[in-house]
Amino acid sequence: MMDLKLAEPALLRDAAFVGGVWVAGAASIAVTNPADGEVVGHVPDLGEAETLLALDAAVPAQAAWARVTGKGRGAVLRRWGELMMDHQEDLARIMTAEQGKPLAEARGEVAYAASFLEWFADEARRITGDVLTPHQTDRRILVRKEPVGIVAAVTPWNFPLAMITRKAGPALAAGCAIIIKPSELTPLSALALAYLGEQAGVPAGVLSVITGQAAPIGNVLTGDKRIAKFTFTGSTGVGKKLAARCMETVKRVSLELGGNAPFIVFDDADLDAAVEGAIASKFRNAGQTCVCANRLIVQSGIYDAFAAALAARVAGLKVGPGLAGPSDQGPLIDARAVEKARAHVADAVARGGRVLTGGAPVAGGGTFFAPTVITGVPADALLCREETFGPVAGLVRFETEEEAIAIANDTDAGLASYLFTRDYERVWRVPEALRYGMVGVNTGLISTEVAPFGGVKESGMGREGSHYGMDDYLNLKMVCLAVAG
């Protein structure tokens, strides 16, 4: 088993957090490092029974938590975020070991994840309602905002901490309780987060983290009527299936699903800025982010210069295990991810694409794939139709702005999109024409706790982060009072 060299070894948990109790369970699941297959730790293989225990504990705990003042709830969230930053290095080492991202990226994610707890610590005291102008002189109308109740959350492996705090932050700020099923690939980060939440003063039952087989746990989280809201971050296919099941008990549902981001470079773009933006957007987390540039759509006049400059930068990216020293890119999460990247490259080449750099798995073990640039990619290649979720940049050529927008919008996804131009009218015109939840203009990095994150079309519903992020965890209650006229 790996020695993570943690300053606080207790952060590496081998038990799940069920209703305020650390539960070991009969069987366990090994968590392995994608860089070399070494065992990082073990977590309990829990199921329906333990999920019901968490839910039984959540019912009274949530009622009590909702009676705490917003200021009181905010103080616990703020302390939780502070403890995350106090343990930033340990949390980053656990994350890199189980997910693979370079240590510098993992440190960044710890800070990004903590920023949601800090943000929603403040939102907790700003939950306000309305007093409306009545329709009759003998009536008074109020609108209250109340916590939805018990929340179930299912989260992915690619951002093992941030995708949890982006939900737990607003949920606890609103006065909800939350039961989280993290990805079976990265449960150790989630359990370390729960350990710090307990230390921060999150009451027993308000937070549970259940590890184990997805289906039996998910059946309770999507089917039990005591759960008022279900929030999912993950692939579009799984999200659709789970959301459908939630409708049997008409739960509130928010979905953060897959993307297929266009990255449009116009002739008038700043070439260096566009190349750096493409590196930041395409190759962060080895291309395994939902907002990665998935199609680089480049105008003819700048195409060759952009392709050459991008390929030169990509060829210089250092690939290696995240805990073995500085690197720009770690392994992909598993062999299936490597195969998907390989298939997308093969399809693009079969359709006339030319590999300028990379194009294949890196020899020598682990699930490393060389950062890749391919030119001459047709807009209907697999690379453009599917979310690659790997370090492969395919360049599509276009002539006119109308053509670029048509190519960009030709997908069922609608999460993130990007454009690089120095034409100030185009800066307004093109974002208005793009059918996406988010648009980056002259930047490849758009994610922040202060802005609403989310998609349209089949990329999901609801928003996470910003004051908008509270809406999914609050119900509106109208009160109509008869008073003497």
Ligand X SMILES: O=C[C@H](O)CS(=O)(=O)O
List residues binding ligand NAD (CB under 6 A). Answer: 154-159, 163, 181-184, 214-215, 218, 233-235, 238, 242, 256-259, 290, 387, 389, 415, 460
- 290 touches ligand X (CB under 6 A): yes
Q: Any contact of residue 152 with ligand X (CB under 6 A)?
A: no
The Cα–Cα gap between 93 and 3 comes to: 10
Amino acid in the structure at residue 303: Y
The reply on whether position 438 binds ligand X by CB under 6 A is no
Residue 289 interacts with ligand X (CB under 6 A)? yes
For ligand X, the closer of residues 51 and 281 by Cβ is 281
* Contact with ligand X (CB under 6 A) among 291, 382, 430, 434: 291
Q: Tell me which of 80, 116, 159, 306 binds ligand X, using CB under 6 A.
A: 159
Classify residue 194 by burial, with Cβ atoms within 10 Å: 0-12, 13-18, 19+.
buried
- Residue 298: which H helix or E strand, with range? strand 293-299
| 280 contacts: CB under 8 Å, gap ≥ 6 | 443, 444, 445
Between 215 and 250, name the residue whose CB sits nearer to ligand NAD. Answer: 215
Q: Minimum distance between the CB of residue 162 and ligand X, rounded to whole angstroms?
A: 6
From the list ligand NAD, ligand X, none, partner contacted by residue 238 (C-beta under 5 to 8 A by kind):
ligand NAD
Looking up tokens 């690619």 gives: 158
Q: Please return the burial class of 272, using the count of CB atoms within 10 Å of its CB with bins 0-12, 13-18 and 19+.
A: exposed
Closest CB to ligand X: residue number: 447
Query: Residue length, the chain?
Result: 485
Q: Which does 204 bind (CB under 5 to 8 A by kind): ligand NAD, ligand X, none?
A: none
Give exposure, 204-235, as e/b (b: 16+ Cβ within 10 Å). Answer: bbbbbbbbbeeebbbebbbebeebbbbbbbbe
The residue within the footprint of ligand X, chosen from 88, 158, 211, 411 (CB under 6 A), is: 158
155 binds, among ligand X, ligand NAD, none (CB under 5 to 8 A by kind): ligand NAD
| C-alpha span between 27 and 193 (Å, rounded) | 22
Catalytic status, residue 403: no
Residue 330 binding result from ligand NAD, ligand X, none, given CB thresholds of 5 to 8 Å by partner type: none
Asked whether position 459 contacts ligand X by CB under 6 A, the answer is no
Q: Give Rg (Cα) of the chain.
A: 23
Distance CA 262, CA 379 (A): 11
Instruction: Choose the one of ligand NAD, ligand X, none that binds residue 234, judging by a C-beta under 5 to 8 angstroms depending on kind.
Output: ligand NAD
62 binds, among ligand X, ligand NAD, none (CB under 5 to 8 A by kind): none
Nearest residue to ligand NAD on Cβ basis: 218
Name which of 469, 421, 410, 365 is nearest 36 in CA terms: 365
Say which amino acid occupies 70: G
Catalytic residue among 109, 123, 256, 464: 256
* CA 208 to each of CA 15, 168, 278: distance values in angstroms, whole numbers, following the listed order: 12, 10, 38
Would you name the residues annotated as active-site residues? 256
| Residues within the interface to ligand X (CB under 6 A) | 158-159, 162, 289-291, 447
